[in-house]
Structure 1
Amino acid sequence: MLTISRELVDQIVAHARADHPDEACGVVAGRDGVPERFVRMENAERSPTFYRFDSMEHFRVWRDMDDRDEEPVVIYHSHTATEAYPSRTDVSYASEPFAHYVLYSTEFDQFRSFRIVDGVIEEEEVKILESNG
């Protein structure tokens, strides 16, 4: 199960809507499996049907997480015309076995999370923590 704050969900959704009609992508860094820090990344493909992290930005972001003793807890991207379910390409890119792969569909307003390990997709429950303020 992915447990994530409403603030982080809202940031992912806002990024997806801002980059629409292109797919948006990024990561939520954290420690011990707890998502804490939103990191918006650029879709190097600038495409409505495909995303790819820019290789230099990817390197910088992962190095920054290492420096902060963080890990990629959530790796997210949006789908702009289809449901929030991993495509074959998404599965081929899934290289972090402990990450939650979040997809947000701007077409269907769906926020879903998956574990993808060795090409196997397993959807998981999402628990959104509302802020107390």
Structure 2
Amino acid sequence: MLTLSQATYDALVAHARRDHPDEACGVVAGPEGSDRPVRVVEMLNAARSPTFYEFDSSDLLQLYKQLDANDEEPVIVYHSHTATEAYPSRTDIAYASEPNAHYVLVSTREPDSVEFRSFRIIDGVVTEEDVTVVDGDV
């Protein structure tokens, strides 16, 4: 199960809506081994595409340097789908390389609603998990 704060949930949804019609992407970092998503890091979709996202390689390198320096890890890897449901595509599954991360998808296909789902993706196997949003810190 993924537990995140209302502020983090709101930040991911806002990023997805702001970057629409292109896919938004980013990471929510947390203390190593804690499974606590606390620091939202919005990333640039280097592909600038409505159907695909790609982290900029230099931005990703900087992110991992920050994570190492702060004893953090990516707790959530997120991106949006702009025309389809919030479910990992074959490409999403193929690129999922963080076995401890929650993979969050936010669908912005409906302008007046949001679909927010979380998955574990390990060795190509996708498992949906419950999402709990809480007030305050996690």
TM-score range, shorter chain: over 0.9
Structure 1 unmatched runs, 5+: none
Equivalent residue for 2:75? 73
Deviations 1:38-89 (A, max 9, x none): 0000000000000000011011111101100000000000000000000000
| Alignment TM-score, normalising by the size of structure 2 | 0.93
Q: TM-score, structure 1 length as denominator? A: 0.97
Identity between Structure 1 and Structure 2 (%): 62
**Mapping of residues 120-131 of structure 1, within 5 Å:** 120-131=125-136
Map residues 1-133 of structure 1 onto 2, 5 A cutoff.
1-31=1-31, 32-108=34-110, 109-131=114-136
Render the CA deviation track for 1:84-103: whole Å, top value 9, x for unaligned.
00000000110000000000
Return the alpha-carbon distance in structure 2 between the equivalents of residues 67 and 105 of structure 1: 33
- Partner amino acid, structure 2, of 1:21: P
The runs of 4+ residues in structure 1 deviating greater than 2 Å are none
Deviation at 1:130, TM superposition (A): 2.0
Give the partner amino acid of 1:27.
Answer: V
Aligned residues: 132
Write the letter of the residue equivalent to 2:119.
F
- Shift of residue 131 of structure 1? 3.4
Aligned Cα root-mean-square deviation (Å): 1.0
